[in-house]
Amino acid sequence: PTAPIAFLGLGHMGGPMAVNLVRAGYSVTGFDVVPGALEAAAAHGITTVSSAADAVAGAGVVLTMLPSGKHLLDAYRGTGGGPGLLAAAAPNTLFLDCSTINVEEAREAAGLAVAAGHRAVDAPVSGGVVGAEAGTLTFMVGAPPEDFTAVQPMLEVMGRRVVHCGDHGAGQAAKICNNMILGISMIAVSEAFVLGEKLGLTHEALFDVASAASGQCWALTTNCPVPGPVPASPANRNYEPGFAGALMAKDLKLALNALESTGVAAQLGPLASAIYDDFAADGGAGRDFSGIITDIRDKSAR
Ligand code: NAD
């Protein structure tokens, strides 16, 4: 439909997102620094090249799905003497970053792109690998209105919901604010279930009351941390993710950085960050984040 898309970062999320763009008729040229990721993408019908500069040549959009803000800024600027993406791209290229990174890094990346004569959009996602494969991600977008309008159709191919949150960095801001609510509320729900257990309350009784009362929240009614009340929740399959503890720990670290840089007098956000760091370091990295309840229960043994 539009000018070719250079897709950089064909990992767990980027791989299936790129496949959905190809299926919708977009011309996609993919690159990843890991040969295995490139081979997997090629096997799924994505045209791959052996350098970032080759991917960017002739592209109208440079879409990145990278592990961190440092990866993004290094790629934009170039490292080790090689030209960065910003220098390799034709003037007025649209740089669309879908990675989850610090708000400040997102604003810095956008500033660099604009200073180099390009356009920039931050559009982090929620929905996980399942959503990336099914094309049902939610995109939280930070961009000037005309750039939002330009990327909206391709985001609608990869996602089901696309929300314009404000100018550069606003997509990342919305994502970490939401995930801070989620991280804290999962701990609250888990502590309540363990307290209920100690008080002789069945999981069903607490669920029946709280799910229809003021304790209602996504952590309780969709991702319930105990098996039984919500059959599809990860607790019913031994906390297989879902949303892995390592990713919750990462997102809360980004929230913590933003709380510190803005001076918000938050107490629960930093505490939740520390709690998920411990969870991830202690075997929870690859488990669903709702497995935090087993840590709370184990530490409560008396
Ligand atoms: P991943 O590690 O599977 O994929 C990242 C890919 O980027 C890797 O294949 C890596 O080799 C590649 N890469 C690194 N530097 C590169 C460069 N300079 N050029 C080209 N490729 C490069 O990670 P993922 O799970 O796909 O996550 C990607 C981003 O999406 C992260 O920021 C993550 O926080 C976010 N995210 C992930 C999920 C999830 O469920 N996995 C959900 C929402 C958001």
Q: Would you state the structure tokens that stand for residue 273, as one six-digit string?
A: 């960050």
| CA-closest candidate to residue 295, choices 259, 250, 257, 248 | 248
CA of 37 to the centre of ligand 1 (A): 11
How much is the mean pLDDT over the chain? 96
Predicted confidence at residue 63, as pLDDT, reads 98
Q: Would you state the structure tokens that stand for residue 192, as one six-digit string?
A: 């309540």
Predicted confidence at residue 2, as pLDDT, reads 65
Averaged pLDDT for residues 57-81: 94
CA of 206 to the centre of ligand 1 (A): 38
pTM of the model as a whole: 0.96
Averaged pLDDT for residues 229-238: 97
Report whether pLDDT(6) > 90.
Answer: yes
Q: How far apart are CA 18 and CA 169, in angstroms?
A: 23
Predicted confidence at residue 1, as pLDDT, reads 52
Q: How far apart are CA 53 and CA 36, in angstroms?
A: 19
Q: How many other C-beta atoms are found inside a 10 Å radius of the C-beta of residue 97?
A: 30
Predicted confidence at residue 4, as pLDDT, reads 93
Q: Is the CB of 56 under 6 A from ligand 1?
A: no
| CA-closest candidate to residue 52, choices 115, 22, 7 | 7
Q: How far apart are CA 182 and CA 210, in angstroms?
A: 17
Report whether pLDDT(45) > 60.
Answer: yes
Do residues 95 and 115 lie in contact, with contact meaning Cβ atoms separated by under 8 Å? no
Report whether pLDDT(118) > 70.
Answer: yes
| CA-closest candidate to residue 245, choices 209, 287, 197 | 287
Q: Which of 69-83, 107-121, 241-255, 285-299 has the lowest mean pLDDT?
A: 69-83
Averaged pLDDT for residues 56-66: 96
Residue-wise pLDDT for 134-184, tens only, equals: 999 999 999 999 999 999 999 999 999 999 999 999 999 999 999 999 999
Report whether pLDDT(65) > 60.
Answer: yes
Q: Is the CB of 217 under 6 A from ligand 1?
A: no
Q: Is the CB of 32 under 6 A from ligand 1?
A: yes
5-167 fold:
Rossmann fold (3.40.50)
Angle in degrees, CA 153, 58, 129, rounded to 5: 45
For ligand 1, atom 38, which residue shows the shortest CA distance? 128
Helices and strands in the chain, H and E counts: 14, 9
What percent of the chain stands above pLDDT 90?
96
Report whether pLDDT(33) > 80.
Answer: yes
Q: How far apart are the first and last CA of the chain?
A: 63
Res. 82 pLDDT band, cuts 50 70 90: confident
Predicted confidence at residue 81, as pLDDT, reads 74
Q: Known catalytic residue: 253? A: no
Quote the radius of gyration of the chain (alpha carbons, Å).
21
Length of the chain: 302
In this prediction, the answer to ipTM > 0.95 reads yes
Q: Is the CB of 8 under 6 A from ligand 1?
A: yes
Q: How far apart are CA 68 and CA 49, in angstroms?
A: 22
Res. 299 pLDDT band, cuts 50 70 90: very high
| CA-closest candidate to residue 65, choices 108, 111, 119, 19 | 19
Query: Could you tell me the residue ranges of all domains in the chain?
Result: 5-167, 173-299
Q: Is the CB of 252 under 6 A from ligand 1?
A: no
Predicted confidence at residue 296, as pLDDT, reads 97
Predicted confidence at residue 67, as pLDDT, reads 96
Report whether pLDDT(192) > 60.
Answer: yes
Predicted confidence at residue 3, as pLDDT, reads 79
CA of 28 to the centre of ligand 1 (A): 17
DSSP state of 169: T
Q: Would you state the structure tokens that stand for residue 250, as one six-digit string?
A: 């990462």
Query: Which pairs with CB-CB distance under 8 Å and at least 24 residues apart come from 107-115?
Result: 107/168, 107/169, 108/73, 109/69, 109/72, 109/73, 109/76, 110/142, 110/168, 110/169, 111/168, 112/73, 112/76, 112/77, 112/86, 113/76, 113/86
Predicted confidence at residue 274, as pLDDT, reads 98
CATH number of 173-299: 1.10.1040.10
Predicted confidence at residue 230, as pLDDT, reads 97
Predicted confidence at residue 80, as pLDDT, reads 75
